[in-house]
Every structure is written in structure tokens, then in C-alpha cells.
Chain A
Amino acid sequence: MALDEYQKRDFKIIGTTPVRPDGVDKVTGRAQYGADFYLPGMLVGKMLRSPHAHARIKSIDVSAAKALPGVKAVVTGADFPATAKGDTLDVQEHCLANGVALYDGHAVAAVAAVDANVAKQALKLIKVDYEILPHVTNIEDAIKPDAPIVQAGRRGRHVPEGYSDNCTGWCEFGHGDLEAGFAKADKIITRTFKTSSTHQGYIEPNACLANMGADGRADMWCCTQGHFQVRNLCAQIMDMDQSALRVTASEIGGGFGGKTTVFIEPVALLLSQKAGLPVKLVMTRDEVFKASGPTVASMTDVRIGMTNDGKITAGDALIRYEGGAWPNSTIFPGAQSAFASYDLEAVRAQGLNTLTNRPLQAAYRAPGAPQSTYAVEAVVDELCEVLGLDPIDVRLKNAAQKGTKSSYGPTYDDIGLIQLLEAAKAHPHYSAPLGPNQGRGISNGFWFNFGGETSVSLALNFDGTITLVEGNPDIGGSRAAMSMMAAEELGIAYEKVRTIVADTASLGHNEVTHGSRVTFAVGLATIKAARAAKAEMCRRAAKIWGIDADAVVWEDGFAKPAGANAGEHDPMPIEKIAADSPRTGGPIVGHHEVTADGAGVSFGVHICDIEVDPETGFTKVLRYTVLQDAGKAIHPDYVEGQMQGGAVQGIGWALNEEYIYGEDGRLQNAGFLDYRIPVASDLPKIDTVILEIPNPGHPYGVRGVGETGIVPPLAAISNAMSRTIGVRMAELPMSPPRVLKAIKEKG
């Protein structure tokens, strides 16, 4: 691991809060999102979707649709080149069914027509003959040995006996002697928890515009978290060279992990290929809910032992996730993160994934971690309640720190959990008085953070300004962060740097914007590209001065002689080096390519106060405080924005949001009216406390901050609920009917 990057230094620009470069466009309506692109001759694409949860497609007759005037192309899954394999074939079949519809909303055909009305009429003319098959949409039923099988041949190699063939994945992490640990406990609590599927809920529906020529070369504009990934997946599915497809990422209207794969992009390409014209394909909100990635739903058994003075002696969890009709690996981070906040002698987390007749799950902000953490943090909290211990004191007593062997294997380097817990305990929120029907909950949260393949290029323009070219869609203000890091490193003003997100033809591969990786990994590459440019600028100055390049240093935007031995030369500003560059060796560009490592794990601690109306079961969040370790906050306002946004998504998950399936296997609430995300009047202010415990793996100490904020709220609110109503609820969301039922059953 690259854990020697960090060097302590004073900053001039890092830590300030300049306006983001995309700001003016976004407040004036000029910013272009996925659905905002138009081309001459452009067609409108629409998809036909299965109304059945599970059905064999005996035949599809598209002849009447094709014959409708204005229809330019009609395609089904059989029209894709039959070359995709493995995971890519799964992605393809999620985009367009191949013989079997696997969930309510699974696309079975698509049309491109001159306008939306003609396209809608054409969909009605497509005749699909379905043979309805048995379906299963929940975990309990899906894992039973006699369950309807979603897809045969997908059983995971390590799945234990006794589970159905729907079970595609099994994992186990941990260390130590569990039974010896439980034997030392004064109190052991075992409980089972359930969470519902939730949706990322981005406000911008998935959208793309594809334009393929008769030469097989294509351009695409789409809203995505990773246009290089879109290009690679589409190229494999369409059997194209990667170089033949150029993808440009639009502004992205929210992603939260949900836009890290493709749902419609290969279909738009296929339609454009068949029609010979550009095709725009935009999902409706109904389609977004039915056919783009929700989270896994979960059912988790947790057993934790504790001594009377609050020492955890052992922790054990069996975590079961369902993630729709294809295999996925979210159970791994789910099992790995469950106990990651604790320093434990004996710990085990087992994970099981099962298929169901639902859309394939997609990543959602710290995928897998909120569900498993919720179950663990709820049992820790219940032990604190039963033993009469302070929940922060107990977490401090058991907190992971530098040198702790984590529950998932690696030993931690510098981490900030203890500092966060101490700050939470000292925060005025933690000791504020509570009224009747009010309660307070806290929770830890953890996320790994990632690095990954990264490529950036930093060009010095002839006037001394900088164009920084990166390849990661900006979902949280990262262009501002990159401009700040480049300006800091070069010693020039923030306004002198313009950062753009380039298309796939302009840079080497950049991994998707996910895993809280961008400010860390692209930032690291930006700093190194700037250092490469500085070294070249020093060489150019040395050439002009006729001295060795080693005898020149860079300081605050100027090349300067390193010392008296280098001779008397006036500091040379970046503008002069830039202007002279045609005569000193040509254009000056710094670049850096890396598979970034050393991302530095992240912790957060949340404090939440709620009030429950005992008559209705309605829960009001009264006060909420987020404490998180950012390593180094490049732009503190945008770091706060991540913390607040994550917390509020978690609040929605805890209190309201859920996918509701009927007995018929159909999704019953595919719209924002019935799938209710938090609105402004539901919420209090979300207070934030940023701690900065530098990440040794980044030159400025940056840790990713995007995902951790969604991990603690589920348990923080659940723990507050328990302390308010006196009942431990074990199922999310804690919607008013469930809360009322829990209060009534308590009597």
C-alpha cells in the first residue's frame, strides 16, 4: 500500500470555499444533463417492459410495430450480437431480456420513432406471448430449498447445504475463538433484523443519446458516473472496438452509485445502428424505479456478547442479502463492514446472497454497509441499554484504532474513530435535554474507500493558465476540488485553473466515480501531474538561465534559483515560462496515470434526536449531528454537503423508503408519491463536525467522504426509536403503521 504519500504542510487554497466551476451553469439552467442533448434527425426511443415477475417469452411479434409509419427501428434481445459473456452478458440481459422476463419491468423490446407519440403507439403494437412462471420476491422464500428458481445454474460454489439454488454467493470474515468469547460475556443478545430495498432516488432519470454511423463508429452522450465503463460495457455488448465508441458524460443529476452501470445505453446504440439515425432514450420515473438498481434488501442475525463493564467479548452475524435476478457481490462489503468499527478478539461475519425476481441491485452509497451496520449497531445499543451503560463510552471502550486487526482482515493505519467518539461525547447535542416522547440514538459507521485506475492531464496554456483534463463525472463538486489541488501545488490562483471532464477519447481509462475515490485518487493524480509540470517548468527556466535543472526550485508560481550557487536570476513567473515554451522545447503538459492505492478508510459517528407521536406512530427528526473524518477537507462546504446528503438519505431509509411488492410479484409504489423520499419540511438542520486525521496514502491527507454518511443513520434512528418508545424495532423502514403497531403491542 502506498502509505507514505502524506507530508504535513501549510495550505493557501486547500480548506477555502471558492465557488464551483459548474455553479453558474447550474443556477441559470444552462448546465446540460443527460436528456438535454439534441441532434438533427434525432429519433425518440422507448422500451416495452414485462408486466410479469417471471415469464418465459414464447414469442415476440414486432411486425405491426415495424409497419407503423414513422417507426425506424424495433429491437429485441435477440438483435444484440451474441458475443457478450459472463458478467457482461448479465448486464446485457438486464438491459433487454433474452427469452425470459425475470422481473416486473424487465425490458423485452425497444422502438425508435420520429416522435414520442409514434413510439408509444408502436409499443402497443408489439405482441408478446408470455408463459407465466412461478416467482419469488423476498429473501425468506428465495433461500428455502423448495423455492421457485430465478435462474438455474447460478448456485455459488461455497453456499452451504440447506439453501436453495437461488443462493449465488457465500462469504465469511473474522478471527478468534467465538465460543470462548461468548463464554466470557455477562450478557448475550441475539436478534434478527430486516431492511427493505430502497432506491438511490436521483432526481434525473437515466438518459442517453446514441449516434452510430454506417461505418460502425459511434458517439454517445449520457448521464453516468463512469463514461469509460459505459464505453467498455457497450463495446463488449455491441461487439465494437472500444476506440470505435466515444462517450461523453453529461452533467449528472444524481447517481449515488445507481449510475455505475448501463440500463439503456446499449439499447440506444442498437436502435441507432438499425435506424441509421441518432436515438435519444430517456427513462420515465416509473422505469427508473422498476428497472434501475435499487439496493439489496436484507435479513441479518446478530449475536453479540458483552461484559457488565461494556467490553464486547464476541460478535457473530449471518447477513443475507437479495439483490434481484442476477448475481452480485454486495454481500462482501456488507459482511466485511459489519463489525469494522470495533477492536474484537473474536468476530465472525458470514454473508449469503440470493436471487429474487426483482431488478438487479446497483450500488448505493457505501453498498452493503448500512444494512449490516444497522443490525450490529442496534444490538450494541441494546446491550448498552440493558447493562445501563453509556453508548458512546461503550463504543470508545471497544473502538478500532491504529494497529487494530480489523474484522475483515487488514490492520488499520491512522484512523479517526476514537477522536470522532470523543468529539461526539463533548458535542452540546449529546447532553441537550430531551422532552416527553423524545429519544436520542447514536451509531458508528465505516466505509472502506477506493482508489482505482486514474488518468489526468494538466496543460499549461501560453498565458500561464491551466487546463486540467480529468475523466470522472463530477457528482459532488470534484472539479472545484481538482482545480484547488492543482492551484495549490502550482502556487497560482484557483481561478487560473479550469478543470474539465473529458470524453473517453481524450484520456486513458478512468474508473467509475464510485467508492468515494475521486477527491482521493484523481486528486492524487492531479497533484502528481502538477508536480510533473513544475519539474518541466523548472527545466525550461534552467535552460533560459543556462544552469542545471537541479539548481531551480518552484515557489508560489515562480521558478527560482535554488540558492546562491545557482547565480543571480530574478524569479521567473509561470506566465513567462508559458509564453516562452514554444522556443524552449514546446508545449508544457504534466500528466499522471496510476492505479491508486492507499485510499484510507473512513469512519463517522451520528447523533440523532427524534419525537414519536404515540397516537399516529409518526416520527419527527428533531436534531441531527454528523461527525466524520475527512482526512483533509479540500473544500469544507462540499464535504459538509456530502455528510448532510448521506445522512438524509439514511433518514429516508430508516423512516419511510421501501420497495413494496404485491403477491403478484409486481412493484406497487414505482413513483415519488408512494416511494417517499425526505422533503424539506421533514427535516431539521443537519449539523456537521469535520475531523481531519490525515490519510497517509494521499499527499494532502485526503480520505474519501462521499459514502460514510449513509451508514450510521439507520441504526442511529432505530436506537433513538428504541429509547423513545421502549421497544426494539427490528425492521426498516420504521414507518408510522409499524411504529404504531410496536407501541400497541407493547401495551
Chain B
Amino acid sequence: MSKLHITTSINGDQTEFLCNSDESLLDVLRDRLHLTGAKEGCGSGDCGACSVTLNGRLVCSCLVLAAETEGAEIATIEGMADGEKLHPLQRKFLEHAALQCGVCTPGILVAAKALLEKNPDPTETELRYWLAGNLCRCTGYDKIINAVMDAAAEMRGA
């Protein structure tokens, strides 16, 4: 089986890779490009740990075929900070102790950023429903919600 040649933009950088036709975007990000910030928690779109944005839309990268991403713009957790300057969401997660084991954190940060781009002033209920596709087993979500709401407030003020 010959491999497919794909050209995409990942976190603003043009990226080329070869993949099999049945490989997921998550497999390529992790195993071919070694961008391991996106995690495989389930491989079936139930946990959100592999969340990335594809042309601005929040997706589970385990449910996207890598071959579908020709010409696409992909954003992952690795592109969220601006050099050594953390994104406000990242900073607020640290300040609010919003992570424990941290394995769901990249996906939740990507998802939360996608929400705030659509809706800079979500209610707590809107936020809880938006993040309902991102499982966290450590925190009970309480401090995650506090961190995102605080980051949203700061970003609105900025």
C-alpha cells in the first residue's frame, strides 16, 4: 500500500507528511510528527483528550482521517503559547490549580479556546455544556470552570 502525501499547516507552519489511508490525524500528529500534546484517551471521540482545531473548528483528531487534512489549517496545544508567553487560559489553569494529572488538560485548553473565540462571555452553564465532551477524572471540573471563566473575563478586559 503506497502512502499518501499530505501538505497542511500546523500551528502556522507548513507541514508535509506521508500517511496510510486509514491513519487518523491523531496518529499522524503523535507517531509521525511527534506532537504528543494531543492524547489518545479512547480513540472513539468520547473523551476529547485529542482535541485540536481543523480550519478553526473543534474536532477530535482521532475521528479525522489524516488524508482529509490536505490544505487544512490545524492548531494543537503546542501552538497555544506565544513563545515563552503563556496564553491567558494556560496561565489561569496554573493559577486556579485546574489540573491534576494533566492528561486531559491539552484537550480542554484547546476546547476552551475554541469556545471563547465564538463566545467571549459564556455563562457557567454554557461552558459546562461546551466542555461536556472533554472528560476529566481528577478534578471534578470545579477548578477548570473557575479557570476558564476567569481567563474569559481577563481576555474581555484585555
Contacts and interface: CB of A to CB of B under 8 A. Distances in A.
B95 A19 contact: yes
B90 interface: yes
Interface string B77-108: 11011000010001001111101111111100
A464 interface: no
Contact of A672 (B47, B77, B99, B141): B47
A19 B86 CA distance: 14
A388 to B, nearest CB: 34
B36 A29 contact: yes
Interface of A: 17, 19-20, 22-33, 35-36, 38, 116-117, 200-205, 251-256, 282, 284-285, 475-477, 637-638, 640-641, 644-645, 647-649, 671-673, 677-683, 685-686
A190 B104 CA distance: 43
Nearest to A251: B102
A203 B39 contact: yes
A657 to B, nearest CB: 11
Contact of A29 (B77, B131, B142, B143): B77
Interface in B10-49: 20, 22, 27, 30-31, 34-44, 46-47, 49
B36 A256 contact: no
A671 B42 contact: yes
Given A28-B77, A28-B78, A679-B132, A641 B143 contact: yes
Interface in B49-101: 49, 76-78, 80-81, 86, 90, 93-97, 99-101
A255 B102 CA distance: 12
A645 B40 contact: no
Leading 10 A-B pairs by shortest Cβ distance:
A29-B37, A253-B103, A26-B102, A648-B140, A29-B77, A672-B46, A637-B97, A644-B140, A27-B90, A285-B42
A24 to B, nearest CB: 7
B145 interface: yes
A479 B38 CA distance: 24
Nearest to A475: B101
A477 B41 CA distance: 21
27 contacts: A22-B102, A23-B93, A24-B86, A27-B86, A27-B99, A29-B35, A30-B37, A31-B102, A35-B39, A116-B27, A251-B101, A254-B100, A254-B137, A285-B42, A285-B44, A285-B47, A640-B143, A645-B100, A645-B140, A672-B41, A672-B47, A679-B135, A680-B128, A680-B145, A681-B132, A686-B140, A686-B142
A116 B136 CA distance: 28
Most buried by B among A28, A200, A678: A28
Contacts of A205: 40-41
Contacts of A204: 39, 41, 101, 103
A368 B20 CA distance: 47
A29 B78 contact: yes
Contacts of A26: 99, 102, 105
A392 B151 CA distance: 39
A471 to B, nearest CB: 18
A108 to B, nearest CB: 22
B138 interface: yes
A645 B103 CA distance: 15
A733 to B, nearest CB: 17
B58 to A, nearest CB: 15
A285 B99 contact: no
Interface residues of B, number: 59
Nearest to A207: B40
B139 interface: yes
Contacts of A645: 100, 137-140
A203 B39 CA distance: 9
Contacts, number: 180
B1 to A, nearest CB: 8
B152 interface: no
Interface of B: 20, 22, 27, 30-31, 34-44, 46-47, 49, 76-78, 80-81, 86, 90, 93-97, 99-106, 109, 125, 127-129, 131-145
Contacts of B125: 681
- What is the predominant secondary structure among interface residues of chain B facing chain A? loop
B94 A23 contact: yes
A472 B119 CA distance: 42
Contacts of B31: 38
Contacts of B40: 35, 205, 282
A254 B34 contact: no
A284 B43 contact: yes
Contacts of B27: 116
Nearest to B89: A27
A442 to B, nearest CB: 19
A285 to B, nearest CB: 4
A409 B148 CA distance: 47
Contacts of A638: 97, 100
Contact of B100 (A29, A641, A679, A682): A641
Contacts of A285: 41-44, 46-47
Given A644-B139, A645-B140, A33 B94 contact: no
A24 B140 contact: no
Given A641-B139, A673-B44, 8 more contacts: A27-B102, A251-B101, A645-B138, A649-B137, A672-B135, A677-B135, A683-B142, A686-B142
B97 A671 contact: no
B87 to A, nearest CB: 8
Of A252, A477, A644, A645, most buried by chain B (CB within 10 Å of CB) is A645
Given A203-B104, A671-B46, A672-B47, A254 B86 contact: no
B137 A201 contact: yes
A15 B34 CA distance: 39
B44 A24 contact: no
A477 B96 CA distance: 13
Contacts of B95: 19
A54 B3 CA distance: 42
A362 B111 CA distance: 32
Q: Select the residue from B94, B134, B144 with max chain A CB neighbours within 10 A.
A: B94
B137 A256 contact: yes
A649 B86 CA distance: 31
Contacts of A17: 97
Given A203-B135, A680-B128, A685 B42 contact: no
A28 B94 contact: no
A680 B35 CA distance: 27
B101 A252 contact: yes
Nearest to A30: B37
Nearest to B86: A27
B144 A680 contact: yes
A252 B100 CA distance: 10
A17 B49 CA distance: 27
Given A27-B93, A672-B47, A641 B138 contact: yes
Contacts of A683: 128, 140-142
A645 B136 CA distance: 9
A34 B97 CA distance: 23
A625 to B, nearest CB: 12
Given A27-B105, A680-B131, A253 B94 contact: no
B39 A33 contact: yes
Nearest to A256: B137
Contact of B47 (A35, A203, A252): A203
Nearest to B80: A28
Given A27-B94, A475-B101, A645-B100, A203 B86 contact: no
A253 B101 contact: yes
Contacts of A31: 102
A98 B101 CA distance: 35
Nearest to B107: A203
A28 B140 contact: no
Contacts of B80: 28-29
